[in-house]
C-alpha cells in the first residue's frame, strides 16, 4: 500500500474506523484540536464529534472549500487538517495543493481519506501535497465484501523535526522517533505505540483477503469506472431522476478538480435524487432485486430498523445503494444535512462490475415501483414512441446514404 500510494511506510489495522481513530490518537491529545472539512463520511463525522470529544480533542469543522477558511480555523493547538479525496456522499473535490500550502505554512500535516481513490488507482493525494493517507481497506482494496481492514500510509513528507514544540511525541527522549526514523516517524508511531495500545490489529485471514483483493484492483477499477460513467449518463435520461451528481460530468462543479487530481477515470460512486423524495427512495430501494441495499431505515412500509443487513460494502464488485439521510448521516441534524447536500431524495450509488445491462434492468423495474399505474402507462408509451423514432431513423432511406 505504501508503494501504491507513493508513501514511505504504512500501518495495516483492523478497520477504516480504526485507521481514523489511531491517526487522531497518534497526533492529538486532550486539549488539542484538529480541523476537518464538514464534507466527510458520516462515520468519520461521528468519530470527530463524538469519540474525539470524549478524548478531550476538539474537531473544528469547516463548511466552505476555501483554503483561507481552513487557515482561519488553525491555531497553536491544531494538530492536523482532514479532508477526503471525493467527499462522501456530497462528491466534492477540494484543492489539495492549495490546502497543502496553507497547512505547511501553519506547521500542520494535511491528511486525506483516500478510500474513494481506490488505493491510488484513481488518485494519489501524496503526489499533490498530502502528508498522510488513510483507507477503509474493506472497500475497493478488498473489493468483495469478505473482510474488514484499514490502512494508514505515511507519505514521509512532513518535517516533524522542525515542529517539535507542536509534536513532542516524536522527540520523546526514550523513543526518539524523529531522530531514529526521520521520514518514517509517523508510521512507526502508529505501528509500535498506538497500534500496540489500542489492539486494533489486522487479523492474518483479513490480511490475506486484502492482498488477494489487490491482485485484481486495476481490472476491477477499470470496469467500475466504465460502468459508473454509463450509469451516470443513463440516469440523466430517466424521468424519475431529478438530478445526478457525478464528477465525470463536465457540468459538475468540481469537474475541473477531478481532471486535475484524478487519473484513469472518475471513481465509481455517484449520487442521484428521486422525484418521489424520501418515500420514493424507500420504494425504490425496497424494489431492487439484484442491487444490494447497504442499510435499511424506518419507512412507512417497514418498521424494521437495521443498521447493517449485509456484509457487502461500498466499493464491492457488487452494485450497492444507500439512503444517506436515514443511515450514514442520520445522526446529523436536518439543517446540517441540508448544508452538506445530504437531502431526503438522495441515493448514493456504488457501481459494481456486473454487466451494465443487468444494472440498468434492475433500476428500471425498481423505478416502475415508484410510479402510479397511470404514470407507468405514460412511461411505457414514451418507450414505445422512442423505439419508433429510433426505428424510423435506422430504416429510413437516408440512414443508408
Give the CA angle between residues 304, 335, 350 to the nearest 5°: 55
Question: Residues 42, 46, 47, 53: is their CA dihedral positive or negative?
Answer: positive
pLDDT number for residue 147: 95
Note whether 71 and 107 are within 8 A (CB).
no
- Sheet of 292-293: strand order equals 241-245, 269-274, 346-350, 320-322, 292-293
pLDDT number for residue 312: 73
Q: What backbone phi and psi angles, to 5 degrees, belong to 355? A: -65, 135
State the CB neighbour count (10 A cutoff) for residue 243.
14
- Distance, in Å, from the CA atom of 62 to the CA atom of 67, rounded to the nearest integer, reads 10
Instruction: Count Cβ atoms within 10 A of the Cβ of residue 212 and give its class: 0-12 exposed, 13-18 middle, 19 or more buried.
Output: middle
pLDDT number for residue 166: 98
Note whether 352 and 316 are within 8 A (CB).
yes
Output the DSSP codes for 92-112.
----HHHHHHHHHHHT--EEE
pLDDT number for residue 231: 99
Q: Counting runs of H as helices and runs of E as strands, what totals does the chain give?
A: 16, 12
How far, CA to CA in Å, does 390 sit from each of 129, 265, 333, 383, 398?
50, 30, 48, 11, 13
Full-model pTM: 0.88
Q: What backbone phi and psi angles, to 5 degrees, belong to 81? A: -120, 135
Q: Pairing mode, if any, of strands 241-245 and 292-293?
A: unpaired
Report which of 323, 263, 285 is spatially closest to residue 118, judged by C-alpha positions. 263
How far, CA to CA in Å, does 360 sit from each of 192, 319, 366?
48, 11, 10
Note whether 135 and 141 are within 8 A (CB).
yes
12-21 pLDDT tens trace:
999 999 999 9
Q: Pairing mode, if any, of strands 346-350 and 269-274?
A: antiparallel
295-340 pLDDT tens trace:
754 444 343 333 344 457 899 999 999 998 888 777 777 887 887 7
Q: Which helix (H) or strand (E) holds 54?
A: helix 52-54
pLDDT number for residue 298: 42
pLDDT number for residue 74: 99
Helix/strand/coil for 135: strand
Terminal CA-CA length for the chain: 55
State the CB neighbour count (10 A cutoff) for residue 55.
14
The one-digit pLDDT tens for each residue of the chain (401 residues) are: 999 999 999 999 999 999 999 999 999 999 999 999 999 988 899 999 999 999 999 999 999 999 999 999 999 999 999 999 999 989 999 999 999 999 999 999 999 999 999 999 999 999 999 999 999 999 999 999 999 999 999 999 999 999 999 999 999 999 999 999 999 999 999 999 999 999 999 999 999 999 999 999 999 999 999 999 999 999 999 999 999 999 999 999 999 999 999 999 999 999 999 998 888 999 999 999 999 998 754 444 343 333 344 457 899 999 999 998 888 777 777 887 887 788 899 999 999 999 999 999 999 999 998 876 555 455 555 555 655 665 665 555 544 44
Q: What is the CA radius of gyration of the chain?
A: 23
Report which of 230, 234, 229, 326 is spatially closest to residue 277, judged by C-alpha positions. 326
Domains plus CATH for the chain? 2-207 (3.40.640.10), 217-395 (3.90.1150.10)
Amino acid at each position: 500500500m505504501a508503494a501504491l500510494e507513493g508513501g514511505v511506510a504504512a500501518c495495516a489495522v483492523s478497520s477504516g474506523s480504526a485507521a481514523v481513530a489511531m491517526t487522531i490518537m497518534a497526533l492529538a491529545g486532550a486539549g488539542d484540536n484538529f480541523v476537518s472539512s464538514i464534507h466527510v463520511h458520516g462515520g468519520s463525522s461521528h468519530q470527530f464529534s463524538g469519540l474525539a470529544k470524549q478524548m478531550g480533542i476538539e474537531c473544528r469543522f469547516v463548511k466552505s472549500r476555501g483554503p483561507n477558511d481552513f487557515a482561519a480555523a488553525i491555531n497553536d493547538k491544531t494538530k492536523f487538517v482532514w479532508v477526503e479525496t471525493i467527499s462522501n456522499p456530497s462528491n466534492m473535490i477540494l484543492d489539495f495543493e492549495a490546502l497543502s500550502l496553507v497547512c505547511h505554512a501553519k506547521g500542520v500535516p494535511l491528511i486525506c481519506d483516500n478510500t474513494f481513490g481506490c488505493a491510488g488507482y484513481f488518485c494519489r493525494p501524496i503526489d499533490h501535497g498530502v502528508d498522510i493517507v488513510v483507507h477503509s481497506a474493506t472497500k475497493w482494496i478488498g473489493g468483495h465484501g469478505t473482510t474488514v481492514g484499514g490502512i494508514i500510509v505515511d507519505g514521509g513528507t512532513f518535517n516533524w523535526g522542525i515542529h517539535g514544540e507542536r509534536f513532542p511525541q516524536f522527540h520523546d527522549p526514550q523513543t526518539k522517533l524523529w531522530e531514529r526514523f526521520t521520514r518514517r516517524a509517523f508510521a512507526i508511531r502508529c505501528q509500535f505505540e498506538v497500534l500496540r495500545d489500542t489492539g486494533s490489529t489486522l487479523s492474518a485471514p483479513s490480511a490475506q483477503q486484502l492482498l488477494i483483493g489487490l491482485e485484481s484492483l486495476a481490472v476491477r477499477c477499470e470496469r467500475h469506472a466504465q460502468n459508473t460513467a454509463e450509469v451516470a449518463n443513463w440516469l440523466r435520461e430517466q424521468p424519475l431522476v431529478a438530478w445526478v451528481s457525478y464528477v465525470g460530468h463536465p457540468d459538475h462543479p468540481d469537474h475541473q478538480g477531478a481532471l486535475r487530481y484524478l487519473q484513469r477515470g472518475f471513481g465509481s460512486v455517484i449520487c442521484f435524487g428521486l422525484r418521489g423524495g424520501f418515500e420514493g427512495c424507500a420504494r425504490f430501494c425496497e424494489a431492487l432485486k439484484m442491487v444490494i441495499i447497504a442499510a435499511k431505515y424506518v419507512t412507512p412500509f417497514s418498521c424494521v430498523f437495521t443498521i447493517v443487513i449485509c456484509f457487502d460494502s461500498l466499493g464491492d464488485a457488487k452494485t450497492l445503494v444507500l439512503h444517506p439521510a436515514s443511515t450514514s448521516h442520520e445522526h446529523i441534524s436536518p439543517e446540517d444535512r441540508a448544508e452538506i447536500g445530504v437531502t431526503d431524495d438522495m441515493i448514493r450509488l456504488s457501481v459494481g462490475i456486473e454487466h451494465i445491462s443487468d444494472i440498468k434492468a434492475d433500476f428500471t423495474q425498481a423505478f416502475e415501483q415508484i410510479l402510479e399505474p397511470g404514470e407507468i402507462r405514460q412511461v411505457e408509451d414514451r418507450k414505445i414512441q422512442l423505439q419508433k423514432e429510433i426505428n424510423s431513423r435506422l430504416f429510413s432511406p437516408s440512414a443508408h446514404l
